Chains A and B, each alone.
Chain A
Amino acid sequence: MNATVDILLVEDNQDDLDLAMHALRQGKLANSIFVVRDGEEALDFLFCRGQFSDRTFDHPPKLVLLDLKLPKIDGLQVLKATKSDPQTKSIPIVIMTSSKEERDMIEGYNSGVNSYIQKPVDFDQFRTTVKTLGMYWLVVNQAPVNYAEPHAAGATHGR
């Protein structure tokens, strides 16, 4: 399972997941979305281990949408682990959360998060936000060809 993943969606709540998927779909961004439901799964996916051990670091997701409140390992820990490992730290991570806690924001940015977004209650706004995010990170933003430093030789699979 080393298929190309554009967006890794880390979301434990089904409702949020559905809404996010709906918004992504409407934004035409749902082509290669992979969903994990807790922090552990997310780290396994990102670090290519456990059930995702067949994955390789040279095909990281183009964007991680990370919730903060997650079972087992919370979002911030996932962020820190990811951003503190050279193999994964260049993966763009956007925190999408209900909380607007400054504490979380500060910790997030200190830990290297690329963006912090509070999910608006208004669905229209949410939709717009998700669409904008996707467009930005997947289309506008230029990512290096090879993400992972140790595996610099690996070629991209493209879309």
Chain B
Amino acid sequence: MPHDFMPHGYCFFWNPLVLWLGVTSDGLIALSYYCIPLGLVYLVRKRRDLPFNWIFWMFGLFIVSCGTTHLMEIWNIWHASYLLAGVIKAITATTSLATALMLIPLIPKAIELPTDEQLRTLNYELRVQCVEREQVEAKLRATLAAREQTLASLAKHQSAVEKLELAQEALRESRQRMDAIIQSAMDAIITVDEQQAVVIFNAAAERMFGCTGEEALGAAITRFIPQRFHAAHAGHMKRFGETGVSSRSMGTLGAIWGVRANGEEFPVEASISHAESEGKKLFTVILRDVTERRQAEAAREWLAAVVDSSDDAIISKDLQGIIHAWNRGAEKIFGYTAAEMVGKPMATLFPADRMQEEKDILIRVGQGKSVEHFETVRLRKDGTQIDVSVTISPIRNSDGEVVGASKIARNITERKRADERLAAQAEELSRQTEELARSQHALEAKTRMLQLVLDSMGEGLVAADNEGHFLLWNDAANKLVGRPVAELPTAAWSLHYEIYLPDGVTPFPPDQHPLARALIGEEKFAEMVVRPPGEKYGKCLEVTARPMHDAQGGICGGVAAFRDVTERRAAEGQVKQLNQELEGRVLERTAELEAFTYSVSHDLRAPLRHMSGFTRILVEDFGPSMPAEAQRYLQRIEQGAQRMGVLVDELLNLTRIGRQPLKVQVTGLDSIVREVIALLEPESEGRQIEWKIGNLSFVECDPVLIRQVFQNLIGNALKYSRPRTCAVIEIGQETKDGASVILVKDNGVGFSMKYADKLFGVFQRLHRAEDFEGTGVGLATVARIIQKHGGRVWAEAELDRGATFYFTLGGSAAKAVSVAGGQS
């Protein structure tokens, strides 16, 4: 163990001088020892011809070992690896010993190595020998040439022999090739002799029949023919042998079958030939297993049947769009037979507006792309257009080049219609669903709203079923009655809820209770007083109850609504009192007004009369002695008094209309108008007036007042048409917006519509008194009268273009028209 020994440094007490002297010396020795072998190795590698060079390797080895022992010396000063040092020294010893032992036998050999002098002598002798050899060689060459001539003549005989050998070789090769061909033929080749024994049975035959050549050779051919054909086969062979035909294909009379070693039968295609060899008849049969081909054919036939029986049109075309194949589906869909279409361009099927499609399709197909489920329109033979779904795929030849396209077309006209129908149905369904959802939503909203309405109602609401059990009882009902709902017979309600008649003391007769009446099918209203517990004064309730009807119309209960009218009753009392007071006041005022009017009619008119009268007397009695001017002034005083008299009269008339009730009777407007026109004759005297009086009906009105209306309106028409040489005044009746309208129209001076609002005001005049006399009361009177009749009066006019006054007589007029109609 390293710890068991002291490092060597301790031996010289780590004296630096001793230590470093040792270390340095050992180091240098090791370095030198390592350098020497390097030199030796280099020498050996450069002088490969050095004898005994392996000894240099030995030297190198032991010198390296020696160097390593010195390195160990240095190591062991600080570390105590003495065992390792020992091992290295042992190696060194071994190599040194081995080298020494090997060197010993070498020494005598090394001594025998030639010196330089000896070598030079040897070189000279060698050169002399060379020259002698060259002379001998020349002689030899001459001898050789003579020999070659002899050889050439000899070779001619030999080539004949060789040719013979070659022919034999070719024959052998040919037979081998023949064998190889027979053996490697894809078809089974079996040759039999006259005894029907197999003489040739190639590899393909082995594979076909599952039997080795060894087994087959010499076997009877019947071994490879199913039992049922044996008899026929013998006949065939015999006949074939006699025909003298050298070869023919077999199975022209029926399918040929073979049988494998495992008993499996399979279809074959065969040809037979016979030949004579060395006087023997040989029959050779070449067989091909057509199982796969038959399967492929069957598959192809199947495929063709599928294509032909498909309802889809399956068409193939080349890249020029010329049709090559046309199945029965295509005939059915497009109406053309295959004979009609094969060789024709595909474009025959395209409607004129879709010709571009074929070009696009051909380009796409040419690029090796397909077009899938492309929906379009094609032409049938009969010219009708049909909706088709088309899938077009490129057809590639065995080199992968696109040579054409297959097209599968399906008539989707029906499907499209069905789709449309389906879509319409779906839409209808979704619409119905939506509607249902909407109505359901609306119903829910309505229910919520009803609940809300019930909850927020100020009116109490109670519903009961036929037996008087309460179904519904809202908050307001609870509050108004003050007692919770109780299951009681109707007869006990009055007592339980303390219900009284409006007098507040007589218990409400139970059989008269509105809800009780409603349950027996009556609609009932009642006022009652309810005294909730703890309240001194009862509440006055108005109760309305109605029966509830079920869907069959039978009574299924009743609903009572009631409201608190306590305050209203109190208020009504006050209102009644107030009304009485007001009525009293109105009477008072009316009396005052009448007194006023009375005094006006007496007291105001009297002075006017006096003024007028005395002025006239003055003029008459003293006129002649007065200057003319004074007379004119007197005249004006008189006129003023008279005007005022008229004014007062009209005003009084106006107030009288307001105060007096209407005295309505059925009146013929026509006669009134004619009376008025007659009355106004003084106005129209000497004037040219064209009267146009239309059909005027009978109406219900106050004839005295309506007469005043016409008097005013016709009077105005006469007055304001005075400047016209021929006045045209039209009085008629027409229907406007369902109402009967009476009109008075003139061609007079009219007025500007901007003053129309002043037209019917008292004392309002649109013309100067100098131009047209008047008081400004006439139209106000008209308006008052029409208003009193519940009608409406208005005017339409244009300055200098005449005016038209219209009025209706309210509901009474319409009634009268029907009366008039009934009479006529």
Please give, as numbers and ranges, the residues of chain B lying within 8 Å of A69 by CB-CB distance: 602-603
B630 within 8 A of A: no
B617 within 8 A of A: yes
> From A100, which residue of chain B is reached at the shortest CB distance?
B601
A15-B656 in contact (CB<8A)? no
A100-B609 in contact (CB<8A)? no
B652-A121 in contact (CB<8A)? no
C-alpha gap A52/B646 in the complex (Å)? 40
B613 within 8 A of A: yes
B608-A121 in contact (CB<8A)? yes
Total count of chain B residues near the partner, CB < 8 A: 27
A121-B645 in contact (CB<8A)? yes
B471 within 8 A of A: no
- A97 contact from B602, B615, B656, Cβ within 8 A: B602
B649 within 8 A of A: yes
Please give, as numbers and ranges, the residues of chain B lying within 8 Å of A19 by CB-CB distance: 609-610, 613-614, 617
Please give, as numbers and ranges, the residues of chain B lying within 8 Å of A121 by CB-CB distance: 605, 608-609, 612, 641-642, 644-646
- B601 contact from A13, A22, A99, A123, Cβ within 8 A: A99
A102 within 8 A of B: yes
Interface centre among B601, B638, B644, B660 (most CB of A within 10 A): B601
B14 within 8 A of A: no
A123-B598 in contact (CB<8A)? no
B616 within 8 A of A: yes
- A123 contact from B597, B616, B646, B652, Cβ within 8 A: B616
B602-A98 in contact (CB<8A)? yes
C-alpha gap A71/B649 in the complex (Å)? 24
Please give, as numbers and ranges, the residues of chain A lying within 8 Å of B613 by CB-CB distance: 15, 19, 22, 123, 126
Q: Which of A18-68 contact B (CB under 8 A)?
A: 18-19, 22, 68
B305 within 8 A of A: no
> From B653, which residue of chain A is reached at the shortest CB distance?
A100
A16 within 8 A of B: yes
- Given contacts A19-B614, A119-B609, A123-B617, whether A68 and B602 have CB atoms under 8 Å apart is yes
B234 within 8 A of A: no
A122 within 8 A of B: yes
A85 within 8 A of B: no
Please give, as numbers and ranges, the residues of chain A lying within 8 Å of B614 by CB-CB distance: 15, 18-19
Q: Which of A113-152 contact B (CB under 8 A)?
A: 119-124, 126
Interface centre among B598, B609, B617, B638 (most CB of A within 10 A): B609
A99-B617 in contact (CB<8A)? no
B606-A15 in contact (CB<8A)? yes
> From A14, which residue of chain B is reached at the shortest CB distance?
B610
Could you list 5 A-B pairs, sorted by A, with CB under 8 Å?
Answer: A19-B614, A99-B601, A99-B602, A102-B660, A121-B612
**Which A residues lie at the B interface, using CB under 8 A?**
13, 15-16, 18-19, 22, 68-69, 97-102, 119-124, 126
Q: 6 shortest A-B CB distances, which residue pairs?
A: A121-B645, A123-B616, A15-B610, A123-B613, A19-B613, A98-B605
Q: A102-B660, A119-B605 are in contact. List 16 more A-B contacts (CB 8 A).
A: A15-B607, A15-B610, A15-B614, A16-B609, A18-B614, A19-B609, A22-B613, A22-B617, A68-B602, A69-B603, A100-B601, A101-B597, A102-B656, A121-B645, A122-B612, A124-B616
